[in-house]
Amino acid sequence: MVEPTYKECKEFLDNYHFQGNVTSKVRVGLKYKDELVALTVFSKPRYNPEYDWEIGRYAIKANCNVCGNFSKMIQYFIEKYNPKSILTYHDLLFGNNSVYEKNGFTKLVDSDCGFYWYRDNKIYNRRGWWKGIQSKKLEKFDPALSAHDNMRANSYVKIFELGQGKYEWQPSSAVPA
């Protein structure tokens, strides 16, 4: 078990997670022959202060299979950081992820469908593109247009997703060995 540097984490997530890097306080990874092959990052919750921690990203190197990788990383995190609670989300576009439930997380709810923006082979989270900040980020911006129309005018394509599964872990939850 390793706690990779920010640089290692950023490079790994930019290569192996469809949303790329995210700010994190704790990074837990698995290495094979000095190469990072799996990574889970933790931070303070972005939207829900009732929880102690949030899993910001979980990623595995392409074409790599490490049995029990998430179990190993979550056990390490729990033992070292003694969290009171952990919150995480799973994009339902990628199926019904049972890794959380297999590791003591409880599924709370599935959210409604949302969307991402796509351009130049990159996916952008919709949260970074509100109309109030578009004038600073887009090449062309027309305040008379809607946020969506401004994105389309800059060749961004709207990609719908299937919603998010929301999961929580509490210390009473059993994490398999």
pLDDT tens column, 90-149: 888 776 668 899 999 999 988 888 888 999 988 888 888 989 999 999 999 999 999 999
Yes or no: say if 96 and 163 are a contact pair by the CB < 8 Å rule.
no
Say what the pLDDT of residue 6 is. Answer: 93
Q: For domain 1-110+163-177, which architecture applies? A: 3-Layer(aba) Sandwich (3.40)
Average pLDDT over residues 155-161: 92
Instruction: Give 16-70 pLDDT, tens digit per residue.
Output: 998 888 989 999 999 999 999 999 999 999 888 999 999 999 999 998 888 899 9
Q: Tell me the average pLDDT of the chain.
A: 91
CA nearest 73: which of 60, 92, 91? 60
Average pLDDT over residues 64-86: 94
- The yes-or-no verdict on residue 10 having pLDDT over 80 is yes
Higher-pLDDT residue of 171 and 95 is 171
Say what the pLDDT of residue 122 is. Answer: 87
Report CA-CA distances (Å) from 41 to 46, 65, 94, 137, 149: 13, 19, 19, 27, 34
- In this structure, how many other beta carbons lie within 10 angstroms of the beta carbon of residue 49? 8
Name the band, by pLDDT with cuts 50, 70 and 90, for residue 164.
confident
Say what the pLDDT of residue 40 is. Answer: 97
Read off the tokens for 27. Answer: 């990074």
Query: Domain boundaries in the chain?
Result: 1-110+163-177, 115-160
Q: Which phi and psi (to 5°) does residue 164 adopt?
A: -125, 140
- The yes-or-no verdict on residue 176 having pLDDT over 70 is no
